Amino acid sequence: MNVDRSILEDYLSKKFFNILINKSEELEIYNYAYEKYNYPKGIFSDFLSSRKSIEEANDYTLFVIADSILNATKKDYRKKLSDFFTDREISKYSGMRYEEPNKIEFPLVFNMIQVSDDQWIGSLNVDAFCALQESGLINYNPVTQRAMTKVTRDNNELYRITLNKSAVKEITADMLEHIYVPDTITLNIPKDDVYADFHYDEQSRQLIIHSLEAFDINDGYHRYVSMFQARSKNPNFNYPMELRITNFDIDKSRRMIYQYDQKTKMSKQLSDTYNSYAAQNKVVQRINESSMCNLQGEIKIGGLIDSTTLAECIKRLYFSKRQSDSPEQRKEIIRVSKEFIEDLNMLTEEDDKYLEKEYSKKEIIILTILFHYYDGKNKISMIENYKRFLIDDAEREEKIIYDFSRNFNRLRKRLIPFLEERM
């Protein structure tokens, strides 16, 4: 694509709203898609009405939807297919006709361990999830899923599937790098599905489903969407995931979702420190484990220097944009680690009280900004300026701000001019 996929998704989502409100163009859009691409009205309307999230669509579907909408809404002369798709994609997709995927045939057989009379656990890969989706066997049920998002425009209201796009982007990136730890997606066989016919074979440990209208996806929708995002970026992408199948009624399904939401939640900052693949955490680990560092073993949660705070500062200053593992990133991790070990040693050798004092979060933020500022510069006055700034800041101390971002930005805005005056 000529743009990030999310830009096209946002554009289409806004168009969907207008089409649903005005109605006059809807039939024309469906007819165009069917006549030119053989694209079924039912699938198109699922996306347009938000029964399916546009993030689930593959690139070809996005092309068909975009072309059909742009054809019907000619007044939007500012947008054209080439704004979103490359010439090669336009040439390729324009000549393609939608073909019905091979429907999954019943019985469906899942290798599962029975947890209770109405709950089983096993595994399933992305290929199998895609096959279920293409066969129309996975349904987003707003009654049992988390609340949908209300969109209001010009006194008109529309409900859309609630989706945290930044979370999807993060999960997708981890999946493509094969560092995502597989976790559970829950598919429910609704109690009121009159077509549901299944049994569990204890001897073979298989859940055998003879017929079913559709599964409801009760938990794991962000992971589910991320699979399709990853597949759109890499058609050969496949990945194992845990699968839980339940046979709950609405009340029990909602109870399960409520129960999931009662989990003890970490702060985002603390949670991020558990991502061992993140560049900033690799830097902190290298510093803490280095025998050349005077503070070896003291940079950790509960140590003299809180590793959570230090990692967040390093991320903001050196690794603010997510990058896949690469030789360039690995070189930067090594370089920054050496730089911090050198700077911490200068601090602790000039004043040995820093070998045993506990550093406040504020001091960690100031030190990190200081080290970043002096990176590549003459450091003869670095420690002296650090001490001077602590005195100056204490004299001008403002009301304590507990929000990390605001604290970080406030200190950075004061420290940089302070240092520049003394260079």
Integer distance in angstroms from the first to the last C-alpha of the chain?
47
pTM above 0.75, yes or no: no
Residue 351 confidence (pLDDT) = 92
What is the domain count for the chain?
3
Residue 126 confidence (pLDDT) = 93
Q: Are residues 50 and 178 in the same domain?
A: no
Q: Are residues 206 and 115 in the same domain?
A: yes
- Strand, coil or helix: what is 155? coil
Residue 49 belongs to a domain: yes
Q: Is the pLDDT of residue 346 over 70?
A: yes
Check: CB of residue 296 under 8 Å from CB of residue 288.
Answer: yes
Residue 352 belongs to a domain: yes
Q: Are residues 391 and 287 in the same domain?
A: yes
Q: How much is the average pLDDT of 282-291?
A: 94
Q: Are residues 161 and 52 in the same domain?
A: no
Cis peptide bond N-terminal to 107, omega within 30: yes
Please give, one letter per residue, the 3-state secondary structure of 130-150.
HHHHHCCCEECCCCCCCCCEE
Q: Answer with the one of 242, 262, 282 that is the final residue of a domain.
A: 262
Q: Are residues 214 and 277 in the same domain?
A: no
Residue 75 confidence (pLDDT) = 57
Q: Answer with the one of 262, 277, 304 that is the final residue of a domain.
A: 262
Residues 238-269: tens digit of each pLDDT = 999 999 999 999 888 888 887 877 766 666 66
Residues 312-335: tens digit of each pLDDT = 999 999 998 766 678 888 999 999
Instruction: Please state, in angstroms and rounded to a whole number, the distance separating the CA atoms of residues 59 and 30.
Output: 18
Q: Answer with the one of 238, 262, 286 that is the final residue of a domain.
A: 262
Q: Are residues 77 and 113 in the same domain?
A: no
% pLDDT > 90, the chain: 51
Compute the C-alpha angle 34/159/164, nearest 5°: 95
Q: Are residues 234 and 303 in the same domain?
A: no
For residue 137, the enclosing domain spans 108-262
Q: Are residues 244 and 376 in the same domain?
A: no
Beta strand ranges found along 221-348 (DSSP E): 240-246
Q: Is the pLDDT of residue 399 over 60?
A: no
Residue 264 confidence (pLDDT) = 61
Instruction: Please state, in angstroms and rounded to a whole number, the distance separating the CA atoms of residues 339 and 284.
Output: 12
Q: Are residues 210 and 179 in the same domain?
A: yes
Q: Is the pLDDT of residue 35 over 70?
A: yes
Residues 360-373: tens digit of each pLDDT = 998 999 999 999 99
CA dihedral 210, 211, 212, 218 (to 10 degrees): 0
Residue 390 confidence (pLDDT) = 86
- Please name every residue paired with 3 in a beta bridge, in sequence order, or none if there are none: none
**pLDDT bracket for residue 379 (50, 70, 90):** very high
Considering only residues 302 and 416, tell me which one the structure prediction assigns the higher pLDDT: 416
Q: Are residues 230 and 278 in the same domain?
A: no
Q: Are residues 314 and 350 in the same domain?
A: yes
